[in-house]
Structure 1
Amino acid sequence: MVDVTRTFTVQTAPDAVLDYLRDFARAEEWDPGTIRCDRLDDGPVRVGSTWRNVSKFLGSETELTYELTAAEADRLRFVGKNDTATSTDDIRVLPGEHQGTSSVTYHAHVEFHGAAKLAAPLAKIALEKLGTETEDNLVRILGGATT
């Protein structure tokens, strides 16, 4: 299992951050590993909504089906699954120190299954790099870091 956490501040209010991140199809914009992310169901995004995410990871394409499993006032949780891994993205968004800003904590937890468990040490290095790139992208998209 691999855990990666990033906490950063953006110049966007919490509700707007949560609204943006709620649609996981937008991962194409902020997740450097995502090649394609398509919504699988219709209607408003809600707990139970699903997406097919195709990513490039460690030189290979991988596909996971993600589900929004929690949508609270300050938190979103997406769980992606395939035969080799279960990936949980837990995103907490709280008011920042300054009005109109947000403190975002993005925690990715990946549990590998079967023989894929052997790749966990290498995956940790790759996921740490992706975590930094994801943070950079979200800061850029959501209005930049505050001082």
Structure 2
Amino acid sequence: MITVSGSVQTDLPPERTFAYLSQFEHTSEWDPGTPVVEKRSQGPVAVGHRYHAEALFRGKRSSIEYEVIELGTRFIKLRGENKTVEAFDSIEVKPSGSGSEVTYTAQFRMKGAVKLLQPLLRPAFNSLRDPALNGMKQRLQSLV
């Protein structure tokens, strides 16, 4: 499994930070590697809520279907899947001073023949981290 993780600080209070980030469809506003995220479920975010996403990876666009698998007052965990990858995304928000600290973790398990390439793909997945974290920080700061 490939794990990519990092944290950002924001002046936005934890409640507002989590309210924004737990709506996974907002991911396309801050993650350049995920330009499309569409909500598939109605109502407030809950376990079982579904999303369709389109991710850019190594110059190719691929679809992935996500589902909320855990939800707390300050964390959300999602599982995504397509024919070549199973992804686990988690976002945790903690109070930090007068603002928030957000920890974002994405784990990827390759499937099928692509599984053999997993060690070679690690640098490509790692390259997605900084643009996503920078985008998250900028977007959250714009909401202050």
Confirm or deny a common fold (TM above 0.5).
yes
Q: Distance in 1 between matches of 2:120 and 2:16?
A: 35
Distance 1:63 1:119 in 2: 20
Asked if residue 111 in structure 1 is aligned to residue 113 in structure 2, the reply is: no
The residue number in structure 1 matching 2:121 is 123
Show CA shifts across 1:49-98 (max 9, x none).
101101111121111100111111221111101121110011111111x1
Contact 1:50–1:67 (8 Å) recurs in 2:
yes
Structure 1: 5+ residue stretches without partners: none
Q: Could you list the per-position Cα deviations for residues 111-140 of structure 1 after superposition, in whole angstroms to 9, with x for gaps in the alignment?
A: 011111133234321222211011100110
Structure 1 outlier segments of 4+, above 6 Å:
none
For 1:67, what is the secondary structure of its paired residue?
Answer: strand
1:29-60: CA deviation from partner (whole Å, max 9, x where unpaired): 11111131111121222111101101111121
* Superposition deviation, residue 3 in structure 1: 0.4
Gaps of 5+ in 2: none
Q: Name the Cα RMSD after superposition.
A: 1.4
Which residue number in structure 2 is paired with residue 68 of structure 1? 68
Where does residue 139 of structure 1 map in the other structure? Answer: 137
Asked whether the equivalents of residues 29 and 35 of structure 2 are also in contact (C-alpha less than 8 Å), the reply is no
Aligned residues: 142
